[in-house]
Amino acid sequence: MTRMGTPFDARTTAAEILAGVDLTGRRIIVTGGASGIGLETVRALRGAGAEVTVATRNPTGDQRALDLSDLGSVRAFVAGWIGPVHAIVANAGIMALPTRQVAANGWELQLATNFLGHFALITGLRENLRQAGDARVVMVSSGAQLLSPFDFDDPHFERRPYDPWVAYAQSKTADALLAVGAARRWAADGITANALEPGYIHTNLQRHLDDDTMRAAGAMDDEGNLVTPDYYKTPEQGASTSVLLAASPLLDSVTGRYFSSDNQEAEKVPGGTAGVAAWSVDPAAADRLWEYALTATAAR
């Protein structure tokens, strides 16, 4: 399969992705849309005329409550949704918690929030996505997926030593595999599913990182002030690939793919520092993960 290219690059903003695009009448859900790249995703989609529902843990105004680590909250959100949904942007997430934390049901918190809660939301709204006729599922993964496959034997670190980055990495691998799994199952319903990495951006996602880690990344000076390396993107640029997958006509009928932060489809690689890991787009792993997640979310 030939990799897909677009006329955009890493410095394209979300608004530029949608220049001239009319999204009037399209209903879109963005999780974690109250800050960071989620907020910029919402702004760009609304600017093009979409009706956007912001699903967030601490809602204000017209936002709707959604705690992805709490299946009761996810089910309440699903039950309260009426009518079609044209796109779900699974943007909310947490990263590199320094110590192992678990949700109320015992799930490791990064996996619960980044993947299992989104899986329950998306599968719970499948009929609403089908009603749209041409719906899109957008999974915000991460370049961290290159660091670890999904560990089916011990996904919640109940036996192996907890590692903040391995936990984050496997949750983002799972997000990419969710897109593959949905693409394989839902094409007949007119539903496409793709995943992406947004790149490096200063947002609240880094709130759990210590100063030494930030300095090693070149994102903080010796006095503790944030600095912006050349390879970092602005939030407006960071939201571009989410918006590309959620609403650009270029992605009509495109499904089961993974896009890098330069707004191009990523090269599949065995490992390394760029591209998408083979384990993150492996159909057999996607099918196995889908069955695991169905059982896990049904049993809680």
Q: Beta-carbon neighbour count of residue 49 at 10 Å?
A: 15
**Phi/psi-derived region of residue 274, left when phi > 0, alpha when psi is between -120 and 50, beta in every other case:** beta
Spatial CB neighbours of 45, under 8 Å, sequence gap ≥ 6 = 18, 23, 28, 30, 52, 243, 246, 247
Length of the chain: 300
- Which residues are CB-contacts of 84 (< 8 A; sequence separation ≥ 6)? 27, 128, 129, 131, 132, 133, 135
Active centre residues (catalytic): 168
Q: How far apart are CA 235 and CA 264, in angstroms?
A: 18
pLDDT at 265: 98
Torsion angle of alpha carbons 233, 235, 9, 12, nearest 10°? -130
Strand arrangement, sheet containing 51-56: 64-65, 51-56, 27-31, 87-90, 136-140, 192-196, 258-259
pTM of the model: 0.93
Burial of 232 (0-12, 13-18, 19+ CB in 10 A): middle
Distance of CA 45 to the CA centre of its chain: 16
Tokens of 261: 């932060």
Per-residue pLDDT of the chain (300 residues), as tens digits, is 789 999 999 999 999 999 999 999 999 999 999 999 999 999 999 999 999 999 999 888 889 999 999 999 999 999 999 999 999 999 999 988 899 999 999 999 999 999 999 999 999 999 999 999 999 999 999 999 999 999 999 999 999 999 999 999 999 999 999 999 999 999 999 999 999 999 888 656 555 556 566 576 666 677 777 767 777 899 999 999 999 999 999 999 999 999 999 999 999 998 777 899 999 999 999 999 999 999 999 965
Where does 10-93 show beta strands of DSSP type E? 27-31, 51-56, 64-65, 87-90
Q: Coil, helix or strand for 99?
A: coil
Cβ(95)–Cβ(165) below 8 Å = no
Comparing CA positions, the residue from 86, 95, 92 lying closest to residue 56 is 92
